[in-house]
Homo-oligomer: A and B are copies of this chain.
Amino acid sequence: MIRTNDAADRDLTALVEEFFGTTFATDNPLITEAVRRMLAAGGKRLRPRLTLLAVEANGADPRAHLALAAYMELIHVGTLIHDDVVDGAQTRRGVNATAVDYGNRVSVLAGDYLFAWIFKNVTANYQPPIPHILSATLADITDGEVLQLRARGNLRLGIDGYVEIVDKKTASLFAASAECGAITAGAAPIKSAALREFGRNFGIAFQMLDDLLDLTADENTLGKPVGNDLRERKVTIPLILALESGPAELHREAERFFSRDEGAADPEPARRLAAEIVRAGGTNKTRDAIAAYVERAKSALSALGSVPARAELGALADALARDRALRAR
């Protein structure tokens, strides 16, 4: 059974890839090329996979909804293109950031065009409330990013403040991806709400895992140096959980670290702070928090009954928690 599910999920991913490689094109060749380049650089296509599995879970054919699934990934790609301008990033997924190859000017415009192109197509081809859900989601994502910028270096952020930001910045798009798949498949409201709830909890666990890997993965796996989030003055969940019960010395060390000049070249202080966070239990507590959100995500799926897509969605969520086993020190 698990083999069958894995095979089915591989098929969905292949369908999404095929769509990007053949069907996807905007009216502006330069922007199509910039987007294709970013798509080719990698990504797990989790958002479109949630959409297609939500379609399948409600008895419709995923092949009929590839465009909608693709828009979910493209909203994500648009935010990445703009993030790279915002962060002055040099690389993204191991290749040059769009802003490096095309310049900031084209990058800002390419992101704007991509968002507008998505909404133009969604308003032409999808019934309410899907256009509204997608635009409200993009508002949430950018609102969350502004909140995150303002929370940089704020050691008093706390778990609630963190979850509020992550809910908007990251989880909203996973929630919309699953919900819109259900709606377009004609799901009953209780099922589309359940899939939204799944996506939201999945997204929070996903962001927590991303924060965790910043401290525990090695540079080759990650494509960026350990403690990179800390160097960008992001208050990540392992830090928050370590501060909660950690020694006063950790608080002082974090305060010293965040009061330094941003972007200091020396990676050593970030590595030292990362080690302190691990020692104070921040990463182990993060693993527990991820497991809790994965469980909440899977519980939400009970509204679906016992369709095969439910098991596949559950397996995707479990994979977030499995990183725990793989990377436990």
Query: In the complex, what distance in Å separates the CA atom of A131 from the CA atom of B141?
Result: 20
* Contacts A104-B86, A112-B82 given; does A120 touch B132 at CB 8 Å: yes
Which chain A residues numbered 106 to 124 have a C-beta less than 8 Å away from chain B? 106, 108-113, 115-117, 119-120, 122-124
Contacting pair A120 B108 (CB below 8 A): no
* Contacts A128-B123, A146-B28 given; does A139 touch B111 at CB 8 Å: no
Question: How many residues belonging to A are interface residues under a CB distance threshold of 8 Å?
Answer: 42
User: Is A136 on the interface with B (CB-CB < 8 A)?
Assistant: yes
Q: Which residues of B contact A79 (CB under 8 A)?
A: 112
Contacting pair B150 A109 (CB below 8 A): no
* Contacts A86-B108, A139-B113, A145-B109 given; does A124 touch B120 at CB 8 Å: no
* Contacts A123-B128, A131-B123 given; does A111 touch B109 at CB 8 Å: no
User: Is A288 on the interface with B (CB-CB < 8 A)?
Assistant: no
Can you give 17 A-B contacts (C-beta < 8 A)? A30-B150, A31-B146, A85-B104, A85-B108, A113-B143, A115-B116, A116-B136, A116-B138, A116-B139, A116-B141, A116-B142, A120-B135, A120-B138, A123-B131, A123-B132, A124-B132, A131-B131
